[in-house]
Amino acid sequence: MALIDQFNEFAVRFGGSVVRDGAPTVSVVRLTGAIGGVGITQRGLNLASLEVPLRRAFCRRGVNAVALVINSPGGSAVQSALIANRIRQLAEETDVPVYAFMEDVAASGGYWLACAADEIHANPMSIVGSVGVIAATFGFHELIEKIGVERRLYAQGDNKSMLDPFRPQDPEDVKRLLDLQKDIHGQFKVYVRSRRGDKLKGSDKVLFNGDVWTGEKALKKGLVDGLGEMRSVMREKLGGKVRFVPVQKQMNWLRRRLSRGISLAEGGDSWAGDLISVMEERALWSRFGL
């Protein structure tokens, strides 16, 4: 890495000014991991943690484009929409074009984020799509009967205990859940259609049935605009001297110390929470064989 590149990377991390040498500049934002709160520690991509790096990426003086490098199996529909909407707001306010680059997977909410870009590029082997909504739970009512446990639940509101895993499944509860999923799925489809428009090649039944494709097949269906990785594509668009400036989420010294103190105070509870978070996120990734 050239000395000026090292200086610029250091400057970006600590909020300083980037040294210009006339080369086009691309702010690079990595969107990696599950979207929304995962596990009891609520880890994952969300608007609160991405607001500052996104703003820095778009508002950096002299920036020519923002590149989103996406590697996400999805997650929260709400956080996917919030992040995508914020990207579009910043792009329109600053008049900076946005390019999305998929790595291993950009599925479900990960694809929602990609649709916030003006152009989407994927690796030929990237996993793309999964435009659908899913929910999973367990049923323990037979187990607790066998071990002699009595379930005691008190609630106000007929539907407050909907889908309680310790009670037999109620068809009415399932219908309400499916209605909610249908509404969210509909909004997902509307967003993809609004962003991709006439580029899409196929009916809703084909494109929005929750299926996934490789980047190569997704290109034929109009879900992506091209195949290639970030550096090659951006150099083709902006020239060989284009400069890539990573914009990362940073935790200041005080927050690092506080976070460490909380972790030590929690003791055994901390590792248990971390374990649950990892297991939930792994479940999301494993749907795509990763």
Q: Which amino acid belongs to residue 39?
A: G
Quote the tokens at residue 119: 């152009």
Active site residue 160: yes
Residue in 83, 8, 90, 4 with CA at minimum distance from that of residue 46:
83
Alpha helices in 148-267 (DSSP H): 171-196, 204-207, 215-220, 230-238, 253-266
Active site residue 108: yes
- Of the residues 27, 72, 76, 108, which is catalytic? 108
- Of the residues 160, 201, 241, 249, which is catalytic? 160
> Distance between CA 4 and CA 261 in Å, rounded?
37
- CB atoms < 10 A from the CB of 184, how many? 14
Strands 226-227, 63-72: pairing is: unpaired
**Neighbouring-strand partners of residue 45:** 35
Quote the tokens at residue 242: 């284009």
Residue in 66, 61, 65 with CA at minimum distance from that of residue 17:
61
Residues acting as catalytic residues? 108, 160
